[in-house]
Amino acid sequence: MGLKERHKMPDYPFWLGGVAASMAACFTHPLDLAKVRMQSVGPTVPRPSMFKILRNSISEYGIRSVYTGLSASLMRQMSYSLVRLGSYEEMKRRMAENGQRSAGKLLLAASVAGGLGGIAGNPADILLVRMTSDSIRPPEKRYNYRNGITGLISLVKEEGVKSLGRGLGTNATRAILMNTSQVGSYDFFKITLLQNPIPLVNYQFHDGFFLHVLASLAAGTCGTTVCSPADVIRTRIMGSSGKARPIEVLIRSLREEGPQFMFKGWTPAWMRLGPNTVLMFVFFEQLKSGWSYLTIS
């Protein structure tokens, strides 16, 4: 189905993107856990590898430990991803109907949707960071949240309602960068591949599974690199129970670790975001196709 035909399809439910992202998170959560733990390690501790983190977790706590914080991850996808994907799709649909669907406007829509998603998903992000990094903290500093719901209650009860906004500025910035570089670039790569055959072999892409995989892999790599600095700072702010401003975390980390700290956890972040982006968009495309089939039928 061509791009011009897509906007004629029935409207999709706003929550469809959140479901697709939740499905993807179920597969990639262990990599998210490894990324957060790598980003949480300070300069005085030897930098662990992603495989060492996962291996140590399994040997010490069992295979189920790599899914620690999954409830918070699903809560995050059904707030952050639901809003950022749902609002972006709605803005994109309206632009298509008005004949105003240009690359610049798509990127603007992606950035606005990302900011909204970052605000909506901030509480779940705090819980996810704390739950996935809890085991590497000293016992007296652990949060010990049993799941996302009890964690949310404990967070508000112990630190107040204002704590739900911890790291909000950094998180919203990261969400804007992520949605623009991931979701916006996915459409860019997809349209570019559809309109330009591969040189030499003269292969023409069609709107299907192979195209979705390639475009989402490129989008995942783009998103990982662009968002890494904000992601590391966000993780450190949310993982702390004290008050720290982003600029303070940035200056202290640069002074103690050098500029390379901004790409701590890049490998597990990419290994998570690459497959996560592929799975999310493939699931999303299939869910949209399935919804269209049910609606038309």
Domain boundaries, the chain: 3-292
Q: Is 234 helix (H, G, I), strand (E, B) or coil?
A: helix
Domain 3-292 sits in which CATH superfamily? Mitochondrial carrier domain (1.50.40.10)
Q: Are 40 and 239 in contact (CB under 8 A)?
A: yes
| pLDDT tens per residue across span 105-145 | 888 999 999 999 999 999 999 999 999 999 888 888 899 99
Q: Exposure string (b/e) for 198-222, b if CB count within 10 Å is 16 or more?
A: eeeeeeebebeeebbeebbbbbbbb
Specify the pLDDT at position 44: 58
Angle at 114 between CA 109 and CA 116, to 5 degrees: 100
Residue 99 gets the label, from left (phi > 0), alpha (psi -120 to 50) or beta, of left
Q: What is the mean pLDDT of each run of 10 residues along the chain (297 residues)?
A: 43 90 94 85 69 90 93 96 94 80 83 96 95 89 94 95 90 90 88 78 79 90 88 80 78 86 82 86 90 75
DSSP characters over 168-180:
HHHHHHHHHHHII
In angstroms, the CA 155 to CA 236 distance is 17
In angstroms, the CA 282 to CA 261 distance is 32
